[in-house]
Structure 1
Amino acid sequence: MRIGLLGTGPWARMAHAPALSGHDELEFAGVWGRRPEAAKELAERHGVRAYDDVDALFADVDAVAVALPPDVQAGLAARAARAGCHLLLDKPLAATVEQGRAVVEAADAADVASVVFFTARFQPEPEAWITEQAGVPGWFTGRAQWLGAVFSSESPFATPWRREKGALWDVGPHALSVLLPVLGDVRRVTAAAYGPRDTAHVVLDHTGGASSTLTLSLTAPPAAAGAAVELRGEAGVAVLPDSPDGAVPALKRAADALLTAARTGRPHACDAAFGLRVTEILTAADDLLNGGGR
């Protein structure tokens, strides 16, 4: 599968480009970015072509990986799907429900595969734990803390879209990607903005009967940063395990999932439709945080 990369920022340089260039079943074909000079530099580093015209890249590849802000990703993903490209997307899928729905509709209409990269879903230990807990009945409640230090340290990820959207949209998708397959879809959302800067607290009522709470921040002290998920129910207590794998091996597994979905025609659990559902839940919480009502 020939694949192109859209984006040239820190995530593209640190994770996407190394994963694509190091994958045995992908041919990393080229890079497009909103800054042509950055696209040229990244392309030269990996021995591929830098594209000035994104449509020319779409025409030359079978798939695209996207490392761009969600509002930019959504428009280009729909455009790539209409050009017949399979989609390896980042979370969150889009900045609005309408944008996310457009991606899903374009992928469905073109019959292309899609995978949204939620890191824990492509790390062996967390994914095995999620699968195991999804088969356990009687969960009573779940608790997720996803705390980053992006705004309290010298982080290259303190990007404009994260400053605008905050932790809800950046790390909230990670928490939802773990909780939803275990506790079921969400039927009610409550949210409040208590704590420093972008810190958000979300309470979810799941269709399986359990509730869950999310504490999300990109403003945590560096020593307090980290992620934890705990489930409590009839079977006792279960805690999400850590994984020794970083982003690059996980992205390679996400690419494996895209290859499988493209070959078999069977959607992956983390496809664009799942990304849309996550976007819908985030939007509901965001409306509450910004006074839009339940």
Structure 2
Amino acid sequence: MRIGLLGTGPWAKIAHAPALSEHAEVDFAGVWGRRPEAAKELADRFGTRAYDDVDALFADVDAVAVALPPSVQAELAVRAARAGCHLLLDKPVATTVAQGRAVVDAVREAGVASVVFFTTRFQTGPAAWIAEQAGVDGWFTAHAQWLGALFGHESGSPFADSPWRREKGALWDVGPHALSVLLPVLGDARRVTAAAAGPGDTVHLVLDHVGGASSTLTLSLSAPPAAAGASVELRGASGSALLPESPEGAVTALVHATDALLAAVKTGQPHPCDAAFGLRVTEILAEAETLLERAAD
């Protein structure tokens, strides 16, 4: 499968381009970016072609991987799907429900496959754990913490100055990761019961799930460096379970996500982390955002 990359920022450089370059079953066919000089630099580094015209890239490939801010991603994903390209998207699919729905509609109308890259869902150990816990009955509650230290510290991270992360904060950046673990285990969220702000961009959410369980989420990009990390704990009739850590980094996980897209194309069966799931995550986060805005008024 010929696949092109949209985006030239840090995530494209350290994750997407290396994963596509090393994948044995895809042809990393080209790069497009909003800055042509950056696209050429990245393409030269990985021995592929830089495109000045994104529609020309769409015409030359079977699929696109996207490493762009969510609002830009959503618009280009619609165009790519309409051009017949399968989609390897990043989380969040979009930061408005309307944009997320437009992506889903375009995927459905074009009959293309889609996979959204939620890192944990494509790491071998955590993915197996999620599947195992989804088969366990009687979960009562869960607590997820996704804490980063991008803001308020000299983190040195290339993502610290990301404009969309500065605007949307932890809710939209790490919230999708937490939801990608909780929803397949506890079931869809019937509603966001509560949402409260904490220090910096920290938010606390309470979800009511269709299976009868509740969950709490603590999300932040403003945590002290020593407090940074991610954890999910489930408690129920069978006892407790903790999400395992994984030695696999983003590149390996993206290779697995690319495998998932190839399988979806070959079989015609949607992946659990497809654009429709990405839209559902966006809907939940938008509901939480509305509650937070009301509380701030």
Question: Does residue 1:120 correspond to 2:120, yes or no?
Answer: yes
Counterpart of 1:275 in structure 2 is 278
Counterpart of 1:92 in structure 2 is 92
Counterpart of 2:22 in structure 1 is 22
Identity of aligned residues (%): 78
Q: Using the alignment, how far apart are the partners of 2:200 and 2:64 within structure 1?
A: 35
Counterpart of 1:154 in structure 2 is 156
Q: Using the alignment, how far apart are the partners of 2:35 and 2:84 within structure 1?
A: 25
Q: Structure 1: any 5+ residue segments left out of the alignment?
A: none
> Are 2:115 and 2:275, in contact at CA under 8 Å, matched by a contact in 1?
yes
Structure 1 residues 34-113: aligned runs within 5 Å: 34-113=34-113
Give, in angstroms, the shift of residue 237 of structure 1: 0.5
RMSD: 1.0
Counterpart of 1:216 in structure 2 is 219
Q: Using the alignment, how far apart are the partners of 2:132 and 2:196 within structure 1?
A: 33
Q: Deviations over 1:106-129 (max 9, x none)?
A: 011110000000001000110100
> Are 2:78 and 2:106, in contact at CA under 8 Å, matched by a contact in 1?
yes
Give the ranges of 4+ consecutive aligned residues of structure 1 lying more than 6 Å apart after TM superposition. none
Q: Using the alignment, how far apart are the partners of 1:38 and 1:292 within structure 2?
A: 42
Counterpart of 1:197 in structure 2 is 200
Read off the aligned partner of 1:147 and give its amino acid letter.
L
Q: Structure 2: any 5+ residue segments left out of the alignment?
A: none
Counterpart of 1:188 in structure 2 is 191
Give, in angstroms, the shift of residue 154 of structure 1: 2.1
> Are 1:31 and 1:43, in contact at CA under 8 Å, matched by a contact in 2?
yes
Counterpart of 2:231 in structure 1 is 228
SS of the aligned residue for 1:40 comes to helix
> Are 1:118 and 1:173, in contact at CA under 8 Å, matched by a contact in 2?
yes
Counterpart of 2:142 in structure 1 is 142
Taking structure 1 as the reference length, what is the TM-score of the superposition?
0.98
SS of the aligned residue for 1:245 comes to coil
Q: Deviations over 1:71-95 (max 9, x none)?
A: 0000000100000000000000001
Read off the aligned partner of 2:166 and give its amino acid letter.
R
Q: Deviations over 1:106-165 (max 9, x none)?
A: 011110000000001000110100000001000000000000111132211120000000
> Are 1:190 and 1:288, in contact at CA under 8 Å, matched by a contact in 2?
no
> Are 1:191 and 1:200, in contact at CA under 8 Å, matched by a contact in 2?
no
